[in-house]
Structure 1
Amino acid sequence: MNKTIIEPSKGWKVVDFDELWRYKDLLYFLTVRGIKARYAQSILGVGWAIIQPLFTTLVFTVVFGGLAKVDSDGMPYILFSYLALWPWNYFSGTLSESANSLVANAGMITKVYFPRLILPLAAIFSKLLDFIISFVVLLILLIYFKVVPGLGIIWLPLLLIQLLMTSLGIGMILSAMAVQYRDIKYALTFIIQLLLYGAPVVYSTTAVPEQYQFLYSLNPMVGVIEGIRAMFLNRPIPWDWIWPGSIVAIIFFVFGLFYFRRMEKVFADVA
């Protein structure tokens, strides 16, 4: 009886795009499965994609905008915070989903061959539905407050690419680490809460002391959030906040690919 032995590819090829394309149906299936599983046996279904960010925005508006009187750069605080929560919720959600993607599918990894990168990719793509629904809510808020985005909105795809690269890069790192270190799953909730206050979600970047602003801008989510606010509110694009984080996002993405590839050969052994 002949046996086929599948071994990791050799050389400098980090991502086999031809192989990923051959398994596109599996990627689609896992993405849809992730969406259905999230809202299975739920009364409101995808309505939670509207309720969760809106409720969080209202809480932030009352606590930080009303009680703490946090500066919102002259805009209504509810719009100020929602423009930040829109990309932030996607980022934090993809971290949680992708970090657990390999462990949750351990049975598939140990029994069937497929490109392991599909698992964190499916986690990233399955959150896009929530992202799109939240965008519709954002448009409603913009109409309500009579805010018209300027020409700077043409740069939005670049910020979305930065958001995706950051999410996927960190997601690949965490998913690979979580296979060997199960503490990642439990620590991630706490880490995401800390990261929330390390980004200008509830406060403006003007609150950051000048001597720390460049260091602060190395956080890729800082440029994403401030850039999105500027684009939708027709303000000058804050490139000084965007480009340092863009470089870090690329580093996260490239390092994530190499780290994931390096750890891929032991996934089935420790999953």
Structure 2
Amino acid sequence: MSNEGIASKPELVLEAGRTERQYWQDLWRYQELLYFLAWRDILVRYKQTAIGIAWALIRPFLTMVVFTVVFGNLAKLPSQGVPYPILVFAAMLPWQFFSTALSECSNSLIGNANLISKVYFPRLIVPISSVIVSFVDFMISGMIMLGLMAWYNFVPDLRILTLPLFIAVAFAASIGVGLWFAALNVEYRDFRYVVPFIVQFGLYISPVGFSSNVVPEQWRLLYSLNPMVGVIDGFRWAIIGGDAKIYWPGFTLSLGLVVLLLISGIWYFRKMERTFADVI
């Protein structure tokens, strides 16, 4: 029997833009999908929780209280001339943003497996939407910082105008590391067990509960290999002002690492992107 009369089933091929230029054009063309995914996750996060939006306030507030008691009241570490809760929360803002974005990004592709396996769109949209959702938490947590400033009658100086620059650096760090984790989690499913440990460990090796000034001078540059050190120091410099200082060699090193993580994260994600639909 001839096979000519047998109709073959059409093959579905999900193909990204053939060139880098087309890919980035597609990323802009699908911006509405980015907004939709972010808005969907925001609604799910706050509508399906018992205490709703208050959870974004309670978690960083309780962490701030613990660090204030341990490092401020018991260890008596210096507070750079400001109330210790303000010192801690100026660091909690970027750290919570980074850690939440990291956790959400690492699971973002797995959580949208059905969409990825059936429809073509630039996959970068998925982890970026997770970072946007984390930024909403960041903005909500900022209400605690405003409350602390009002409670302690603390008024920031003009350095506060530079805060958007350090927020941009925090964005770059979150997206860069998040893209690495998102791609690795698709390739190695057990990687999802590593992420919570990294987030927890990173909290204690980053200067969240204390000022990085307590680190001995000879170790400051090595300590700045943690890219969040520069981000946190930048936030404190902008919010606290006054006695807060930036260790510029370390900040430059941290900033360089953030740029490297962003570029390499995009490269690795794009390299693995064509296999996501098959692996997921």
8 A Cα contact 1:14 1:258, kept in partner: no
**Which residue in 2 is equivalent to 1:249?**
258
What SS does the aligned partner of 1:197 have?
Answer: helix
Q: How far apart in 2 are the matches of 1:51 and 1:14? A: 44
**8 Å contact from structure 2 (residues 227, 255) kept in 1:** yes
Determine if the alignment matches structure 1 residue 20 to structure 2 residue 27. yes
Correspondence for 1:265: 274
**Counterpart selection for 1:186 from 178, 187, 193:** 193
Structure 2 residue aligned with 1:71: 78
For residue 218 of structure 2, the aligned residue among 208, 211, 216 is 211
- What is aligned with 2:182? 175
Q: By how many angstroms is 1:161 displaced?
A: 0.9
Correspondence for 1:59:
66
- Equivalent residue for 1:111? 118
Going from structure 1 to structure 2, the CA distance change for 1:102 and 1:14 (only over 3 Å counts) comes to: farther
Bigger radius of gyration, 1 or 2?
2
- TM-score, scaled relative to structure 1: 0.93
Alpha-carbon displacement from aligned partner over 1:133-152 (angstroms, at most 9, x marks no partner)? 11122112112212222222
Relative distance call for 1:4 and 1:184 in structure 2 (3 A) is closer
Amino acid at match of 2:276: F
Matches within 5 A, 1:129-144: 129-144=136-151
Q: CA RMSD in A?
A: 1.9
1:234 corresponds in structure 2 to: 241
Classify 1:179/1:66 alpha carbon distance in 2 versus 1 (closer, same or farther; 3 Å). Answer: same
Higher mean displacement: 237-246 or 178-187: 237-246
Note the residue ranges of structure 1 that are not aligned, 5 or more in a row: none
Q: d(CA) in 2 for partners of 1:266 and 1:2?
A: 20
Q: Is 64-73 or 216-225 further displaced after alignment?
A: 64-73
After superposition, the C-alpha distances for 1:162-206 in whole angstroms (9 at most, x for unaligned) are 100000000001000000111221111111111112211012112
Tell me how far 1:104 sits from its aligned partner.
Answer: 1.1
Q: Residue 48 and residue 14 in structure 1: after superposition, are their counterparts in 2 closer, same or farther (change >3 A)?
A: farther
Q: CA offsets per residue over residues 217-251 of structure 1, 9 Å max, x none?
A: 23221112112112222236515142221111110
Check the 8 A contact 1:231/1:237 in 2, yes or no.
no
Paired residue type of 1:167: S
Give the Cα–Cα distance (whole angstroms) in 2 for the partners of residues 178 and 218 of structure 1.
24
1:220 aligns with 2:234: no
Alignment partners' CA distance in 2, 1:52 and 1:223: 23
- CA gap of 1:210–1:53, structure 2 versus 1, over 3 A, is same
Q: How far is 1:15 from its partner?
A: 8.0
Structure 1: which 4+ aligned runs deviate by more than 4 Å? Answer: 1-6
The answer as to 2:72 corresponding to 1:35 is: no
The answer to whether the 8 Å contact 1:170/1:252 transfers is yes
Q: TM-score of the superposition, structure 2-length normalised?
A: 0.90
C-alpha separation in 2, matches of 1:137 and 1:181:
38
Aligned residue pairs total 270
Aligned-residue sequence identity (percent) comes to: 43
Post-superposition Cα deviations, 1:119-141, rounded to whole Å, max 9, x if no partner, equal 10110001122111111221121
Distance change (3 Å), C-alpha of 1:118 and 1:7: same
| Distance across 2 between alignment mates of 1:4 and 1:55 | 50
